[in-house]
Amino acid sequence: MRLNADFSRRAVVTPEAYRWVDSPTPGVERMMLDRVGEEVARATSLVRYAPNSTFPTHEHGGGEEILVLEGEFADEHGRYPVGTYLRNPIGTAHAPRVGEQGALIFVKLHQFSPSDSARKVIDTRTADWQPGQEKGLEVMPLHEFRNEHVALERWAPNLRLAPREYRGGAEVLVLEGSFHDEHGSYPAGSWLRSPHGSRHTPRTGADGALVYIKAGHLPPG
């Protein structure tokens, strides 16, 4: 399977375009954002767990990055409430399960460098925010490895940010609020992938925005 697999091209998925598909495991659905491969794949997805569902034990052959968007995700290593950022490096394994509230998670698979071996669990509800380089911008760093940078950013209402150019590309997931740029409008739930060298000038409206941003990590198209 190849879905949004040309990394030299811009890709955008907004909530009205969501198409949920069943995984091989009952009670677990996926909204595929990009994918290169079949069941074992380089993939970026939203994954929705029904209440009291489980997923079989599996090993992370290429690493796994998770942001819990709704409910509570869990495995034999711990419980991860909404807002948890989790990194499971290559060679780790777990058996996911969720409770009565179910869970919605953002997942990136098979995208780790073999040298990026740090496991991380960050509760973004309690972690510290840092002032950004522009007024009205706050940043919560989550991970850095070589050229890859992962952070949450909080953009104040009615903010126009400086133009951004992405060396090594970038992905943005809108968690709260919405933002706009010269290419379009992106409500909560929107996912954008911008290739190396792309530029845009984000701006917010009255609701501001909370976004996940991962930059510098994309392969050539």
pLDDT tens sequence across 12-21: 999 999 999 9
Question: What pLDDT, on the 0 to 100 scale, is given for residue 117?
Answer: 95
Taking the C-alpha atoms of residue 16 and residue 55, their distance in angstroms, rounded to an integer, is 27
**What percentage of the chain exceeds 70 in pLDDT?**
100
* Mean pLDDT, rounded, for 22-47: 95
Number of residues written out for the chain:
221
* Mean pLDDT, rounded, for 151-180: 97
**What percentage of the chain exceeds 90 in pLDDT?**
97
> Could you tell me the pLDDT band of residue 40, with boundaries at 50, 70 and 90?
confident
* Mean pLDDT, rounded, for 45-73: 96
**pTM exceeding the 0.85 threshold for the entire prediction:** yes
Question: What pLDDT, on the 0 to 100 scale, is given for residue 132?
Answer: 97
> Could you tell me the pLDDT band of residue 114, with boundaries at 50, 70 and 90?
very high
Mean pLDDT of the chain: 96
- Tokens representing 7 are 């990394």
Query: Comparing C-alpha atoms, which of 81, 83, 62 is closest to residue 142?
Result: 83
- Coil, strand or helix: which one is 15? helix
Question: What pLDDT, on the 0 to 100 scale, is given for residue 39?
Answer: 86
For the segment 176-214, what is each residue's pLDDT rounded down to a tens digit?
A: 999 999 999 999 999 999 999 999 999 999 999 999 999
Taking the C-alpha atoms of residue 155 and residue 137, their distance in angstroms, rounded to an integer, is 5
Is the confidence at residue 47, as pLDDT, over 70? yes
DSSP symbol at 54: B
Residue 17 φ then ψ, to 5°: -95, 0
197 class by beta-carbon count within 10 Å (0-12 exposed, 13-18 middle, 19+ buried): exposed
Is the confidence at residue 221, as pLDDT, over 80? no
186: Cβ contacts below 8 Å, ≥ 6 apart:
12, 14, 172, 174, 178, 179, 180, 192
* Mean pLDDT, rounded, for 105-128: 96
- Tokens representing 34 are 């990009």
DSSP symbol at 154: E
